[in-house]
Chain A
Amino acid sequence: MDDEQTVKTEGGRPPANPETETLDIWVAGTEEPEFHPTDEGTQELGPDESDDRLDDQFGRVVADDYLFDDEVAEEERTVLNMGPQHPSTHGVLRLHLELEGETIRRTKPIIGYLHTGMEKTAEQLTFSQGPTNVTRMDYLAPLHGELGYSLAVERLLDVEVPPRAAAIRILMTELNRIASHLVALATNGMDIGALSMMIYGFRERESILAFFEKTTGLRMNHNYIRPGGVAADLAPGWKDDVAAILDDLPKRLRQYDDLLEKNPIWLARTKGVGVISPEEAIAYSITGPILRATGVDWDLRKAFPYSGIDQYEFEVPVGENGDVYDRYRVRVEEITESLKIVEQVMDTMPKGDYRIGDRKITPPPRARIDESMEALIHHFKLFTEGFKVPEGETYVAVESPRGELGCYVVSDGQARPYRMHTRAPSFYNLQGLPIAMADSLVADTIATIASMDPVMGDVDR
């Protein structure tokens, strides 16, 4: 203080100026004689600290975090463990993230927390018990798993199912695709913050699950598509139920579009996030909506048609940029295309048997067991020993909501598979996760994982 009038008091504080300050709470000169305040608590702002960092903190300037791009050595990266128990990882996926600040430099998915030994169990189950096992792998698209397995076994048996069975299979699998995409949209929305998407998605799913319960007996994990056809015919009045679904869903899809399509928060969090290029997707064996969102037009329903799906007209939606927004868009449009297929199946459902007449493979109708000894013997043999499949090996793939779901079955002439392996789409799609998450922010991780839509039952089997 240069002022001559300053009197140095013991407190180090200039005395109250009676002309300018009328209220002075601390009256200098009234401290205890031994009171010596120090400089330790004071924070002096030196001239070297008033730079952009301070401006940013004080709000004088609004800058981006990327401005402070310090070089962090690899050993100094923060390692963050996400999962296996975490609300946003879609099941038990564990991610090992190496962070520099908020930016992710490296990701390693650690899986195996849901490994159930299903391929080993498959060697213990007969061929007609097989679908109960396969259906629980990808539990959001159980009918697709059953379809892949049944097609593989039928190929080994060299049999063709009747047209009605094939049409019922397409009807059920396309409805399953819609239900699975609704869950994907619901969890995608909830993870990013649109909590009402969870309610909407599951609400629509209930009507489809009610139809499944009526037809197959179960809401999930149906064991309905079996080698030889399907387990039971469609319930009477099924056309009304399907027509109600066809009526209701397009309106609801418009509701989702109202919520999300032009929502600036949704667009900001999904556009340009989690980008995968087409070459990377092909190199990492990624299939399904993720591959189609990058711009590659590949769908097994068009390339290697199965179960008579080539008689129905539908299109395959393809994206452009391979980001989260495109994957969401591809899924929504796939729901619309599946609705078209369901309508065509409903209109053209052929009459006939819902399973092969060969009694060595499919059980006889229950009523016949009372009448015919042969029917009783067939029923007994099929449900105790099972039917024997000639030696051979084959691989059949179907297009599940997550990509190419293939089933590799090896038989050695017995009633149980010698080896059953499922080519799980989510297992391969997860390899694209580190690519999609490279150099992105932690908050984008959640959006990216949700858009990859992994089903851990499929990944770990």
Chain B
Amino acid sequence: MMTTVERAANWARTRSMFPATFGLACCAIEMMATGAAHYDLARFGMEVFRASPRQADLMIVAGRVSQKMAPVLRQVYDQMPDPKWVISMGACASTGGMFNNYALVQGVDQVVPVDIYVPGCPPGPQSLMHGILTLHDKIMAGEIVR
């Protein structure tokens, strides 16, 4: 049961989520393409990719996370203030992708808690947008309680 205040808060959080730039590899290019003119993210209030994690609430882990990068990922996640959400974009971020080897963390959920997994290698802008909108729906419905 959500009170009106919670519903209003969820509505506000959904309508202007600021993503933190965490573009690592090929998925980052598709993330940039999603923010660009053709598949506009600005219509959802999200085109401002905050460089500083302190000002962001969504972390889209776009790309493969290597062993050297994992502590940095965790540090950036910890620096984000609550409420925060994580989208794991692409196969490499979700499960290690095609690189099942010593160098990659096999799935970013070993390091940070993930809310939405977007499959694809790389996921096209439409897939990423579907993932983002699903996250919006989940927050609006109160499934993710922070």
**Chain A residues within 8 Å of B, Cβ to Cβ:** 84-87, 91-92, 112-118, 120-121, 132-133, 136, 139-140, 183, 198-199, 202-203, 205-206, 209, 219-221, 456-457, 460
Contacts and interface: CB of A to CB of B under 8 A. Distances in A.
Contact of A183 (B23, B29, B67, B68): B29
Contacts of A112: 66, 68
Contacts of B124: 219
A261 B86 CA distance: 40
A116 B104 contact: yes
B38 interface: yes
A85 B64 contact: no
Contacts of A205: 33
B76 interface: yes
Given A85-B22, A221-B121, A460-B66, A91 B72 contact: no
A456 B25 contact: yes
Contacts of A118: 99
A117 B22 contact: no
A450 B68 CA distance: 23
A114 to B, nearest CB: 6
A409 B75 CA distance: 39
B25 A113 contact: no
B26 A220 contact: yes
Given A85-B21, A115-B66, A221-B122, A91 B30 contact: no
Nearest first, the 5 A-B pairs at minimum CB distance are: A117-B103, A202-B36, A139-B26, A87-B51, A117-B101
Given A92-B24, A206-B38, A116 B76 contact: no
5 contacts: A84-B69, A116-B66, A117-B101, A139-B25, A220-B29
Given A199-B37, A219-B124, A87 B49 contact: yes
Contacts of B38: 202-203, 206
Contacts of A221: 26, 121-122
B24 A120 contact: no
Nearest to B92: A116
Nearest to A120: B101
Contacts of B21: 85, 87
Nearest to B28: A91
Contacts of B121: 221
B63 A114 contact: yes
A441 B97 CA distance: 40
Nearest to A94: B72
Contact of B32 (A120, A121, A202, A209): A202
Find the residue from B25, B28, B104 having the highest chain A CB count within 10 A: B25
A202 B37 contact: yes
Contact of A121 (B23, B36, B69, B99): B99
A419 to B, nearest CB: 15
Contacts of A86: 51
B76 to A, nearest CB: 6
A209 B21 CA distance: 23
Find the residue from A116, A139, A457 having the highest chain B CB count within 10 A: A116
Contacts of B68: 112-113, 115
A40 B25 CA distance: 58
A457 B102 contact: no
Given A92-B69, A203-B37, A116 B30 contact: no
Contact of A199 (B23, B36, B66): B36
B36 A203 contact: yes
A115 B51 contact: no
Find the residue from A84, A85, A115, A460 having the highest chain B CB count within 10 A: A85
Find the residue from A86, A92, A460 having the highest chain B CB count within 10 A: A92
Given A139-B29, A202-B33, 13 more contacts: A91-B23, A115-B68, A116-B104, A120-B103, A121-B100, A139-B26, A183-B29, A199-B37, A202-B37, A202-B38, A220-B29, A221-B26, A221-B122
B98 interface: yes
A198 B22 CA distance: 18
A116 B103 contact: yes
Interface in B73-102: 76, 98-102
B122 A116 contact: no
Given A202-B33, A206-B33, A457-B26, A85 B101 contact: no
B72 A85 contact: yes
A362 to B, nearest CB: 22
A219 B124 CA distance: 8
A456 B64 CA distance: 11
Contact of A91 (B25, B36, B51, B98): B25
Interface string B50-71: 0100000000000110111100
Contacts of A121: 98-101
Interface string B111-129: 0000000000110100000
B124 to A, nearest CB: 6
